[in-house]
Amino acid sequence: MTTRGNGRTTGHRVAVIGAGYVGLPTAATLARFGHSVVLAERDLAKLETLRRGLSPIVEQDLDELIAGGVASGNLSFTESAVEAVKGARFVFLCVPTPQSSDGSADLSFVEAAAKEVAAHLATGAIVVNKSTVPVGSATFVEQVIGRSDVSVVSNPEFLREGSAVLDSLNPDRIVVGSDDTQAAAKVGELFATTAAPLIVTDATTSETIKYASNAFLATKLSFVNALAGLCEEVGADARDVLLGLGYDKRIGFEFLRPGPGWGGSCLPKDTSALLHIAKEAGYDFSLLAGAIASNDEQLARVIGKVEQMCGGSVTGVTLGVWGLTFKANTDDRRESPSLQITGRLTELGATVQAFDPTVDAEAEPREDLRGLQLRADPYEAAAGARALVVLTEWDEFRWLDFSRVLALMAEPCIVDARNLLDPSAVRRMGFRYTGLGRQ
């Protein structure tokens, strides 16, 4: 492994395959770094939006970054992956790796993309696995491509949705792994204008770093959520307990907020995948299995709080819900704890009136929102409700007119699964309030 700091970069021809949550910020960032980037996306509606210099996903500052890339001439788009890779020195695979039924990562999109472009890659091109892929995938992609002049490098992304632009312009670290060390180092040089430390390692280690990072974050959150539960039992204030923890620099304040459980497109999928990898390798990773089980318990704990607030049962009860995305500042609802909780509440016989700033209540109901009564604003969601459940930490919820909310609700009850509101302020107004780990 070698580590290196700053360096200089000259523009390279780069292809990025897939304009999703990873490919889009990656392409726009590489264009900003001075590379000439062609982004391939099959979805024609998405492509049209991109060509207008707009982002097809809700992501802070991404519109500006895309528009800047287009205006500079460094960023262009095509429907064809084959077209994108023509003459490219680097080809980033940023296609989805969804979870298979056995918990492992499904590599079919990676395989299909590699197969499609294999014969069209420039001599000496470097293919970069940016998607989160199982340990050993670099070798798999090498075999699919089947060309001795082409190297495959693992370069995992660590982008958080909602701050993907910030994260990709100012990464904490760049990890590149390959059995061809020179190729790995060349991929690292693409990011040389950042101040991030570069870790050059082998492909297996690089792939493991990605899973290890997300599994560690998930474990940290499971610990935090369980701790909040313990605080309730012993009468401690989780907020102060976590403050006391966070000031220890070895622990830090990041990822220390209790919530309804961790979700999103990465943490659940990657923890399951790592558990699967461990099992295949004959390694008993019971700690990680415990973190996953603890996350399910957290969902149940929140549902229990709602039931308790409604006198023991939600059957036949109308509930108001604020927030459907898996966290704030994104429109992503994949593996959203909010949807898992609202789904179970509906199964238990509740009528759920939900509002989320990124969900258009008038639009065609989408499959994942089936069973929910979508409302156009947070007040409508609260109207007539026996209890209000805050499930996503959208900042705008803090600044609503709570006297109006109070007047609209059937009962003045709030379950705040994000500890977003000020308990004493809402209690003073007459609400019954319960959060996580606070009295």
The answer to the question of residue 327 lying near ligand UDX (CB under 6 A) is: yes
The answer to the question of residue 257 lying near ligand UDX (CB under 6 A) is: yes
- In this structure, are residues 16 and 94 in contact, taking their beta carbons and an 8 Å threshold? yes
The answer to the question of residue 263 lying near ligand UDX (CB under 6 A) is: yes
Q: In this complex, which beta carbon is closest to ligand UDX, that of residue 177 or of residue 259?
A: 259
Catalytic residue among 231, 266, 310, 413: 266
Q: Considering only residues 184, 267, 339, 408, which one is a binding residue for ligand UDX as defined by CB under 6 A?
A: 267
Question: What residues form DSSP beta bridges with 152?
Answer: 127
Question: What residues form DSSP beta bridges with 432?
Answer: 413
Of 86-94, 152-160, 242-250, 274-282, which segment contacts ligand UDX by CB under 6 A?
Answer: 152-160
Encoded amino acid at 14, one letter: V
Of 30-38, 156-164, 243-251, 429-437, which segment contacts ligand UDX by CB under 6 A?
Answer: 156-164
* Closest CA relative to residue 413, chosen from 308, 309, 260: 309
3-state class (DSSP) for residue 157: coil
Question: What residues form DSSP beta bridges with 127?
Answer: 91, 152
Fill in the per-residue mask, 105 to 144: x = in contact with ligand UDX (CB under 6 A), - = not in contact: ----------------------------------------
What span, in angstroms and rounded, lies between the C-alpha atoms of 171 and 130? Answer: 14
Q: Is 94 a catalytic residue?
A: no
The answer to the question of residue 174 lying near ligand UDX (CB under 6 A) is: no
The answer to the question of residue 207 lying near ligand UDX (CB under 6 A) is: no
CB of 338 to ligand UDX, least distance (A): 9
Q: In this complex, which beta carbon is closest to ligand UDX, that of residue 254 or of residue 367?
A: 254
What span, in angstroms and rounded, lies between the C-alpha atoms of 191 and 295? Answer: 35
Tokens standing for residue 120: 């069209």
Q: Considering only residues 326, 355, 402, 431, which one is a binding residue for ligand UDX as defined by CB under 6 A?
A: 326
Of 180-188, 192-200, 243-251, 252-260, which segment contacts ligand UDX by CB under 6 A?
Answer: 252-260
The answer to the question of residue 159 lying near ligand UDX (CB under 6 A) is: yes
- In this structure, are residues 35 and 74 in contact, taking their beta carbons and an 8 Å threshold? yes
The answer to the question of residue 157 lying near ligand UDX (CB under 6 A) is: yes
Q: Considering only residues 37, 93, 175, 221, which one is a binding residue for ligand UDX as defined by CB under 6 A?
A: 221
CB of 162 to ligand UDX, least distance (A): 6
CB atoms near residue 201 (< 10 Å): 20
What span, in angstroms and rounded, lies between the C-alpha atoms of 154 and 136? Answer: 10
* b/e 405-439 (16+ beta carbons within 10 angstroms → b): bbebbebbbbbbbbbbbebeebeeeebebbbbbbe
What span, in angstroms and rounded, lies between the C-alpha atoms of 371 and 368? Answer: 9
Q: In this complex, which beta carbon is closest to ligand UDX, that of residue 90 or of residue 158?
A: 158
Strand ranges for 122-233 from DSSP E:
126-129, 151-154, 174-177, 198-201
Residues in contact with ligand UDX by CB under 6 A are: 157-161, 214, 217, 221, 255-257, 259, 262-267, 326-327, 337
Q: Which residues are catalytic?
A: 266
